[in-house]
């Protein structure tokens, strides 16, 4: 900014400020000196009377000098020139980019930043007279928002386009917006001026690099008008929700883990609420240190099958758009398991199936995802196997081939535990049994070999919960030596396979070379037994450790064929959507991008380094309307005239008292 004069020659009149001084000196009266008797008190009284009169005369002289100088400046007509965001003022082609990403929804003392930026953009457009282009930073997938055309328009049309731009839940793409502006202005001869109304949050602008920009015009002037200042804004956000324990099974207990992030520079309390099907279930609080994450756990028990709309909410903060996290849960009925006991006993604890049933249904089966029925070998051909999702053959001498083969063809798993009643010759004739049973190995107790080469967890996420140290302490006094076929999951220290898997038809067959009870080994008494049996069964029936579909992000690519339908949440924004996939109907949660919740700001120097070949300015928004951002001038003569009248008024008052 600078000051100039419309009539600079009249500045010579400033010399007239010496006229009142000359007049004062010329008309000053000098008293006549007369000798008088030395009367000391009379001389002192004369000095006290003269001093106030001299002070008034000096004040009067200063006022008259100021009046003459003000009159000279008034005639010279000073003008204050300021550049604003548009260096060329109202004329010429201008590009206005409005940041409509999620972070602009932050609410400060003056209001929501997006609305403040929009109001400033509205005021700026009203004063422009040349061609204008208005662009957002967040566009709809596959095109411009609401069909906005990238074309030059007058200020009236630009205002209509500006009103169509709404605050989004997505992450902005500054390079795409700038490239559209450069493409529109590539044939212009005059310098292109681009003004961006934004908060310069790092989540959106940190990734901008000059190499991403194409068709950059020469003499480009790029100005950022920042809203919210350079400081880091406080914000809490929900980063993730997952099922950390249990499965989404009706009647089974689970545990929901919610990760909350504190993106501010100080400790902040967070109040987290859990909703299922729009009903508030539970609420918990946590204190989060500055810049860190915390986890809150909710106990989860589902009472009916099917899809459930889940939502986690934070108590309102200044950025409410990221305070809700949506997730669907598909609850299923308990896994029906058939355990065929090949060695039933009168004493229940002595039966072959006792330890397996108690591992799958501890504590009478309450809170577990499995529903187990025990049958004997003779019932295998009479029982309808269709309702069962898994079958265990426990030391069964001669299992029926036909029903089990049909069962496997349906894509279900079969688990075989050997023992002293097994007929090896019969098993070799089974079409779905690819292994060769050799002799029974007995004598020195064998142990499971440790290490990844012996304990194959690949493709078995549920095995990660098995304590390998405890598993290695189990001893096996007897087991069948089996020829290797398919995949070996557990191996003994001597190299003999203990647990194997093979595919047959659409199903999978698992073979355990020892018994399911204590007759041949002490594994049922080992701490690793329960997670091993649970892990095997979960993998066999496809019961994933996490029953929550992966979350999607606003603006990301949606899965499935056709357009998804919104189940809950904000239309086109965060919520739960339903998509069609080859495997059937799928629900997925759509949530805001986590980068937009980080409210640290880019500095002006950082932006200049990223766009080193461009003329870049970063200015702070101010209170008031957007007209203050325009280049222009302001005449100062009204202020000088007011000052002149004030000086003359004071001068008249002082002169009247002399």
d(CA 398, CA 420): 12
Write the pLDDT tens digit of every residue in 410-438. 999 999 999 999 999 999 999 999 999 99
Beta-sheet pairing, 413-417 with 507-512: parallel
Tell whether 444 is covered by a domain: yes
Tell whether 89 is covered by a domain: no
Query: Could you tell me if 559 and 515 lie in one domain?
Result: no
Task: Specify the pLDDT at position 142.
Answer: 40
Query: Could you tell me if 112 and 258 lie in one domain?
Result: no
From the list 395, 412, 538, the residue with the least C-alpha distance to 466 is 538
Task: Specify the pLDDT at position 143.
Answer: 41
Query: Could you tell me if 502 and 364 lie in one domain?
Result: yes
Q: What is the CATH number of the domain that holds 248?
A: 2.60.40.10
Query: Could you tell me if 339 and 328 lie in one domain?
Result: no
Q: Which two tokens stand for residue 509?
A: 């067959």
Tell whether 87 is covered by a domain: no
State which of 503, 521, 541 marks the end of a domain: 541
Q: What is the CATH number of the domain that holds 399?
A: 3.40.50.880
Domain that holds residue 199: 94-231+599-630
Q: How far is CA 27 from the centre of its chain?
A: 82
d(CA 502, CA 590): 38
d(CA 308, CA 290): 34
Query: Could you tell me if 614 and 568 lie in one domain?
Result: no
Tell whether 70 is covered by a domain: yes
The answer to whether the CB of 328 falls within 8 A of the CB of 310 is yes
Tell whether 306 is covered by a domain: yes
d(CA 112, CA 372): 58
Query: Could you tell me if 99 and 226 lie in one domain?
Result: yes
Write the pLDDT tens digit of every residue in 227-246. 988 888 999 999 999 998 88
Task: Specify the pLDDT at position 561.
Answer: 57
Task: Specify the pLDDT at position 624.
Answer: 47
Query: Could you tell me if 505 and 368 lie in one domain?
Result: yes
Query: Could you tell me if 421 and 537 lie in one domain?
Result: yes
State which of 500, 522, 541 marks the end of a domain: 541
Kindly report the backbone phi and psi dihedral angles of residue 525, in degrees, each rounded to the nearest multiple of 5, phi listed first. Answer: -95, 0
Query: Could you tell me if 473 and 378 lie in one domain?
Result: yes
With residues binned 3-state (H G I as helix, E B as strand, rest as coil), the percentages for the chain, rounded to 5, are 30, 30, 35
**What is the three-class DSSP state of 335?**
strand
Q: Residue 585: is it exposed, middle or buried by C-beta count within 10 angstroms (0-12/13-18/19+)?
A: exposed
d(CA 253, CA 643): 81
Beta-carbon contacts of 632 under 8 Å, excluding residues fewer than 6 positions away, are: 81, 82, 84, 89, 90
Query: Could you tell me if 364 and 461 lie in one domain?
Result: yes
**What is the three-class DSSP state of 239?**
strand
Total Cβ atoms within 10 A of residue 602: 21
Count of alpha carbons within 13 Å of 340, Cβ hemisphere only? 27
Strands (E), 305-401: 306-314, 324-331, 335-341, 370-376, 390-394
Query: Could you tell me if 574 and 607 lie in one domain?
Result: no
**What is the three-class DSSP state of 307?**
strand
Q: What is the dihedral of CA 648, 653, 656, 658, to 10 degrees?
A: -100
Number of domains in the chain: 4
Task: Specify the pLDDT at position 239.
Answer: 93
Partners of 306 in beta bridges: 331
Query: Could you tell me if 147 and 278 lie in one domain?
Result: no
Tell whether 410 is covered by a domain: yes
Beta-sheet pairing, 2-5 with 78-82: antiparallel
Q: What is the CATH number of the domain that holds 180?
A: 3.40.50.410
Kindly report the backbone phi and psi dihedral angles of residue 76, in degrees, each rounded to the nearest multiple of 5, phi listed first. Answer: -75, -15
Can you tell me which residue has the tokens 């979960």?
A: 538
Positions of the chain with pLDDT under 50: 49, 142-148, 624-625
Beta-carbon contacts of 626 under 8 Å, excluding residues fewer than 6 positions away, are: 119, 120, 121, 122, 123, 124
Total Cβ atoms within 10 A of residue 451: 9
d(CA 308, CA 328): 6
Tell whether 88 is covered by a domain: no
Q: Which two tokens stand for residue 632?
A: 């222009």
Total Cβ atoms within 10 A of residue 339: 24
The answer to whether the CB of 213 falls within 8 A of the CB of 178 is yes
Per-position DSSP letters for 462-482, written without gaps between them: GGGGS-HHHHTT-EEEEEEEE
Tell whether 325 is covered by a domain: yes
Beta-sheet pairing, 615-620 with 221-226: parallel
């Amino acid at each position: 900014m600078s000051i100039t004069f419309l009539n600079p020659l009249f500045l010579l009149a400033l010399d007239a400020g010496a006229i009142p001084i000359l007049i004062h000196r010329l008309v000053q009266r000098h008293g006549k000196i007369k000798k008088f008797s030395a009367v000391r008190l009379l001389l002192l009284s004369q000095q006290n009377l003269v001093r106030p009169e001299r002070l008034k005369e000096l004040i009067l002289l200063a006022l008259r000098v100021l009046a003459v100088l003000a009159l000279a400046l008034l005639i010279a007509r000073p003008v204050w020139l300021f550049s604003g965001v548009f260096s060329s003022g109202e004329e010429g082609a201008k590009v206005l980019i409005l940041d409509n990403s999620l972070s602009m929804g932050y609410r400060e003392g003056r209001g929501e930043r997006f609305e403040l930026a929009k109001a400033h953009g509205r005021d700026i457009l009203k004063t422009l007279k040349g061609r204008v282009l208005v662009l957002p930073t967040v566009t709809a997938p596959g095109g411009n928002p609401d069909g906005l055309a990238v074309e030059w328009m007058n200020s009236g049309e630009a205002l209509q386009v500006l009103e169509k731009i709404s605050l989004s839940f997505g992450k902005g793409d500054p390079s795409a917006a700038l490239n559209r502006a450069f493409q529109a202005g590539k044939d212009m001869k005059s310098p292109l001026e681009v003004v961006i109304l934004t908060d310069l949050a790092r989540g959106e602008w940190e990734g901008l690099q000059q190499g991403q920009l194409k068709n950059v015009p020469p003499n480009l002037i790029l100005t950022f008008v920042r809203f919210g200042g350079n400081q880091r804004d406080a914000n809490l956000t929900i980063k993730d929700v997952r099922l950390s324990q249990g499965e989404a099974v009706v009647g089974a207990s689970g545990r929901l883990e919610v990760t909350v992030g504190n993106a501010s520079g100080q400790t902040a309390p967070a109040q987290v609420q859990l909703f299922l099907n729009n009903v508030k279930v539970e609420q918990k609080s946590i204190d989060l240190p500055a810049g860190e994450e915390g986890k809150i756990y909710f106990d989860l028990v589902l009472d009916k099958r099917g899809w459930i709309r889940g939502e986690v909410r934070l108590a309102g903060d200044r950025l409410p758009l990221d305070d809700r996290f949506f997730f669907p849960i598909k609850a299923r009925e308990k896994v029906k398991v058939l355990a065929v006991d090949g060695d039933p006993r009168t004493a229940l604890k002595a039966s072959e199936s006792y330890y397996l049933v108690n591992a799958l249904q501890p504590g009478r089966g309450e809170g577990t995802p499995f529903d187990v029925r025990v049958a004997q070998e003779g019932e295998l051909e009479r029982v309808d196997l269709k309702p069962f999702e898994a079958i265990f053959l426990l030391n069964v001498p001669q299992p029926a081939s036909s029903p089990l083969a049909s069962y496997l063809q349906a894509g279900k798993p079969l688990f075989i535990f050997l023992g002293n009643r097994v007929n090896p010759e019969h098993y070799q004739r089974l079409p779905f049994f690819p292994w060769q049973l050799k002799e029974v190995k007995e004598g020195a107790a064998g142990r499971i070999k440790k290490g990844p080469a012996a304990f194959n967890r690949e493709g078995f996420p549920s095995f990660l919960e098995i304590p390998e140290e405890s598993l290695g302490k189990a001893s096996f006094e007897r087991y069948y030596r089996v020829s290797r076929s398919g995949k070996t999951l557990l191996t003994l220290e001597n190299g003999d396979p203990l647990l194997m898997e093979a595919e047959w038809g659409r199903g999978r067959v698992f073979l355990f070379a020892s018994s399911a009870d204590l007759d041949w080994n002490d594994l049922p008494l080992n701490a690793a037994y329960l997670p091993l049996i649970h892990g095997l069964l979960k993998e066999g029936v496809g019961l994933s450790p996490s029953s929550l579909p992966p979350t999607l992000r606003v603006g990301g690519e949606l899965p499935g064929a056709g357009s998804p339908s919104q189940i809950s949440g904000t239309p086109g924004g965060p919520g739960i959507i339903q998509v069609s996939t080859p495997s059937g109907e799928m629900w997925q949660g759509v949530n805001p991008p986590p980068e937009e919740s980080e409210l640290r700001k880019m500095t002006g120097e950082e932006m200049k380094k990223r766009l080193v070949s461009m003329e870049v300015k970063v200015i702070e928004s101010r209170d008031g309307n957007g007209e203050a951002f325009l280049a222009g001038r302001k005449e100062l003569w009204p202020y000088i005239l007011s000052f002149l009248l004030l000086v003359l008024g004071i001068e008249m008052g002082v002169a009247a008292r002399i």
